[in-house]
Amino acid sequence: MKDEVQTKIADTVKELNEIWDQVEMDEQMRVRRSKLAFENIAQLCNEMTESERNMVKNAETELELYKREICKMRQETGQKQDSSIASLPLTIRNLVELKTQHSNLKKTYSEKLEEQKRLVEQLEMLQFRLGVEDRLLHNENKDTLFRPSLLDMIRTQIAALSASLTERVAEAEELQNELRTFTSLADVVSLTVSSLSTDEDDCQQFLDLNISSDEISLNDDIFNSLKRLHNKMKEIYDEKMDQLEYRWNELLSELSKLWESCLTPEEDREFETKFNAATFAPEQFDQIEAEITRLKEIYSSRQPVYDAIKYWDSLWNSKLALDTKKKDPHYYSSRAAGHSVSKDAQAERNLQNVKLPQAAKHVEEVYAEYLASHADQKIFVYDSKMDPLQYIEYTMNEYDRQQQIETAAKLAAKKVADRDLHSPMKLRTPSKRTLLITPTASGRNSPLVKKPALDASIRMFGSTTSIVSSITPKKPRIKQEDGPKTSSPLGTSSDAKSPSRMMRPPATTPDRRPFRKLQ
């Protein structure tokens, strides 16, 4: 490389002289220009040297920086320190290795730092939402990794604050929803907002508050203000609802009586008998009053018919009550006070033969009289969509049909019971019993030693001992000898002939009876 530089310089000087010869440049000028050229070359060499010297110096600085940062990141990330790094000399190879190691550590460090920042932001958000003062991180440098114990404390506090915030948000939303319910009625709204809209407790402000937003603080002051407003409005709301409910019950009581008096079908009874604040609208009072007026007009023109139908219904219900009473299994045997089968029978005959026909006849008469003046306004009874006469006829026919069904069911049940009672018992051949094993061995039986141990009560009898049969034996009939029938003196011949009471009578098998033939 040195020879090439020298050759290049010599060739350049030679070429310059040739150029200068062409213009016949004098020696003095040539010296001056050659000196300028060599000064430029010297300056370039100096600049190159300085540049390389600065490069080495910067590399040394960068190497030391890598050493410090690697040591710092290892310490903050909880990794083991490498003591050999501190004594590494400045070489290009060492610089490249440290740069690679620094890059890998930087990635891990950045990930942990991002996770830490996320935890810090979450903690700060929770503290803001709940209005809690930061006492955990006020002296910490948030740009460096925290120690593991501090991170554990942050996570614990985040969990506790999250639970508190969830509970507070749920309670605040419930209060807010109840506020909306309180202000749903126009008269309650005008009263409440005008009386409670102060600088401290602004009703509309709380109604428009987005409680679930992370940008809204639910600190103790705001939350307590919301509860105070809720309590004030609830007191007014409850008082107003009591008034409305009283008015509703008053009107519905009158309307219900008219519904019953006019035999109004259930599907036409549009208003709930119980006051419901959730579905109430102030205009419903006007609608109820209009319905009361309409039903009063209807009842005034149809009262004789309605009264006659209700009287027939009351008699019919009395008949049904007697039927139900007779279905009691103890009806005919009961001796309860006031119970009389004969009186019930007399009352039933009176209803069936006298009162019900008379009441039905009266309904027919008053309904005919009504149709004479209101031919285009038929009366329909309850949910049947029938006129009074059709209703009475249908009710009685349905009763007769139901009685026939019950009678048929009783007859069918009795028939089944009688058939089961008279059906013959099914006979079957008894199953075979296993023969008792005796202490003998034969060609058909294996040796005794291979048999299971016998019960002690069986082994005490010999092979020829009679075993008690499962069939109850008959007691043998003993022929009575001549002599006294009570007792005999000692030494008589009866002692030798009559069996002793201590002796077991011989077992006999009863006579075999023929099997019953199956029917």
pLDDT band at 426 (very low <50, low <70, confident <90, very high): low
Assess whether 304 and 412 both reside in one domain. yes
- CA dihedral 68→71→74→75, nearest 10 degrees, is -110
Question: Domain range spanning residue 84?
Answer: 19-107
The residue with greater pLDDT, 20 or 455, is 20
Mark which of 395, 416, 437 sits at the end of a domain. Answer: 416
408 and 315 in a common domain = yes
Measured between alpha carbons, how far is 346 from 337 in angstroms, rounded to an integer? 18
Q: Supply the pLDDT for residue 329.
A: 84
pLDDT above 70: residue 518: no
Q: Where among 382, 416, 450 does a domain terminate?
A: 416
According to DSSP H, which parts of 262-336 are helical? Answer: 283-326
Classify residue 6: in a domain, yes or no. no
Domain boundary pick from 369, 387, 416: 416
For the chain, percent of residues with pLDDT exceeding 70? 77
Note the pTM of the prediction, 2 decimals.
0.47
- Within this chain, do residues 94 and 195 fall inside the same structural domain, yes or no? no
Are 92 and 26 within one domain? yes
- 89 occurs within a structural domain: yes
Per-residue pLDDT band at 95 (split at 50, 70, 90)? confident
Do both 251 and 317 map to the same domain? no
CA 258 to chain centre: 44
Residue 343, pLDDT > 70, answer yes
Determine, yes or no, domain membership for 412: yes
**Please, what is the end-to-end C-alpha distance for the chain in angstroms?**
136
Question: What is the share, in percent, of the chain residues with pLDDT greater than 90?
Answer: 23
What local confidence, expressed as pLDDT, does residue 430 receive? Answer: 59
Domain membership flag for residue 76 = yes
Q: Residue 321's domain is classified under what CATH number?
A: 1.20.58
Do 382 and 322 lie in a common domain? yes
Q: pLDDT category, 233, cuts 50, 70, 90?
A: confident
Higher local confidence (pLDDT), 417 or 493: 417
Give the pLDDT score at 433.
Answer: 56
Q: Are residues 252 and 181 in the same domain?
A: yes
Collect all residues with Cβ–Cβ distance below 8 Å to 44 and sequence separation of at least 6: none
Same domain, 254 and 314: no
- The amino acid occupying position 410 is K
Is the same domain home to 262 and 221?
A: yes
| pLDDT tens, residue by residue, 285-315 | 999 999 999 999 989 988 999 999 999 999 9
Same domain flag for 99 and 206: no
At 158 the pLDDT is 92
Please state, rounded to an integer, the average pLDDT across all residues of the chain: 78
Position 183 scores a pLDDT of 76
- Comparison of pLDDT for 445 and 319, the residue scoring more: 319
Contact 349, 393 (CB under 8 A): no
Gap between the Cα atoms of 319 and 349, Å rounded = 10
pLDDT digits (tens, 9 = 90+) for 174-207: 998 888 887 766 454 455 555 544 444 467 778 7
State the pLDDT at residue 471: 47
| pLDDT band with cut points at 50, 70 and 90 for residue 431 | low
**Residue 259 belongs to some domain of the structure:** yes
Angle at 23 between CA 20 and CA 28, to 5 degrees: 55
pLDDT recorded at residue 181:
80
pLDDT of residue 384: 62
Is residue 217 within 8 A of residue 165, CB to CB? The reply is no
CA–CA separation, 504 and 475 (whole Å): 10
Q: Is the pLDDT of residue 405 over 90?
A: yes
Backbone angles phi, psi at 381, to 5 degrees: -95, 125
HSE of 443, CA atoms in CB hemisphere, 13 A: 0
Do 404 and 351 share a structural domain?
Answer: yes
Residue 61 lies in a domain: yes
Number of separate domains in the chain: 3
**Residue 308 has what pLDDT?**
93
Whether residue 50 lies inside any domain: the answer is yes
Give the pLDDT confidence of 46-74 residue by residue, as tens digits.
Answer: 999 999 999 988 888 888 888 888 888 88
Distances (CA, A) of 47 to 223, 338, 356, 511: 73, 136, 134, 145
Instruction: Evaluate whether residue 36 is within a structural domain.
Output: yes
The predicted pLDDT at position 202 comes to: 63
Position 417 scores a pLDDT of 84
180 and 268 in one domain? yes
If one compares 186 and 224, the residue with the highest pLDDT of the two is 224
pLDDT computed for residue 161 by the predictor: 93
| Predicted local distance difference test score (pLDDT) of residue 309 | 92
